[in-house]
Chains A and B, each alone.
Chain A
């Protein structure tokens, strides 16, 4: 599976939008972009995923660059409960790569009140 690069940490203020970047310059045409987050003392939880088009759900939005070499997870209005480690993960589609997801170090998001 292709590698992703994320900043180690980011800081934002409560009730402001947060843009978490992810670079994946070696992404292949069939790789999906997945985002998970891990709150303190909990297991990771799914946030959002996409292939080519931008995606929205109740938790966040995913903006994918036209060349797919980067993406941005957008939290529209951060709350203190959004403080977590956010992981950007690439995974091949059906038949692509090893089984399971490979997690990197992620971005530690700090929310200031």
Chain B
């Protein structure tokens, strides 16, 4: 248990569906992240939020829409996805987005997404 909880753990959706991934952290952190991990590829940073404000968007397609209502919750809204978007989506949190000394990033177990 890392203190970062992701739901659902598994999701299968059609290309015309709209679904959301949810992340909640119980660590009192200020920064939250979404990462994507496709098969046989390195983790890709998608979005970074610090104190509810988005500070990083790594050219992610608009069919992925993040939402951070407060420092403890992070959502990833999904719509009109493609089969190549099938991947493991990982949420993480840390005290600050800048990984200086003592600033560890804690990851959830991930949400396995399959787009059919």
Residue numbers of A with Cβ under 8 A of B are 32, 34, 36, 42-46, 49, 51, 91-106
Secondary structure dominating the interface of A: loop
A99 surroundings in chain B (CB, below 8 A): 31, 48, 50, 55-56, 97-98
- Distance, CA A99 to CA B104, complexed state (A): 13
Report whether A49 and B101 are in contact in the complex, using a CB–CB cutoff of 8 Å.
yes
B106 surroundings in chain A (CB, below 8 A): 46
Contact A94:B90 (CB < 8 A) given known A99-B50, A99-B56, A100-B45 = no
- Distance, CA A102 to CA B56, complexed state (A): 12
- Distance, CA A31 to CA B89, complexed state (A): 27
Residue of A nearest to B107 (CB): A43
Interface size class of B (residues with CB under 8 A): 20 to 34
Report whether B2 and A93 are in contact in the complex, using a CB–CB cutoff of 8 Å.
no
Contact A101:B45 (CB < 8 A) given known A32-B100, A49-B101 = yes
- 11 more contacts with CB within 8 A, not counting A34-B99, A43-B92, A51-B101, are A32-B100, A42-B109, A42-B110, A44-B90, A91-B100, A92-B98, A100-B33, A100-B45, A101-B105, A103-B35, A103-B42
Report whether A100 and B100 are in contact in the complex, using a CB–CB cutoff of 8 Å.
no
Residue numbers of B with Cβ under 8 A of A are 2, 4, 31, 33, 35, 42-43, 45, 48, 50, 55-56, 90, 92, 97-101, 104-110
Please give the distance in Å from A38's CB to the nearest CB on chain B. 8
Q: List 17 A-B contacts (CB under 8 A).
A: A32-B99, A36-B105, A43-B4, A43-B109, A45-B107, A46-B105, A51-B101, A91-B98, A91-B100, A93-B98, A95-B98, A99-B97, A99-B98, A100-B48, A100-B56, A105-B42, A106-B42
Contact A43:B110 (CB < 8 A) given known A93-B100, A93-B101, A99-B97 = yes
Contact A44:B98 (CB < 8 A) given known A98-B56, A99-B48, A101-B45 = no
Report whether A32 and B48 are in contact in the complex, using a CB–CB cutoff of 8 Å.
no
- Distance, CA A94 to CA B43, complexed state (A): 23
Report whether B100 and A103 are in contact in the complex, using a CB–CB cutoff of 8 Å.
no
- Distance, CA A51 to CA B103, complexed state (A): 13
Please give the distance in Å from A47's CB to the nearest CB on chain B. 10
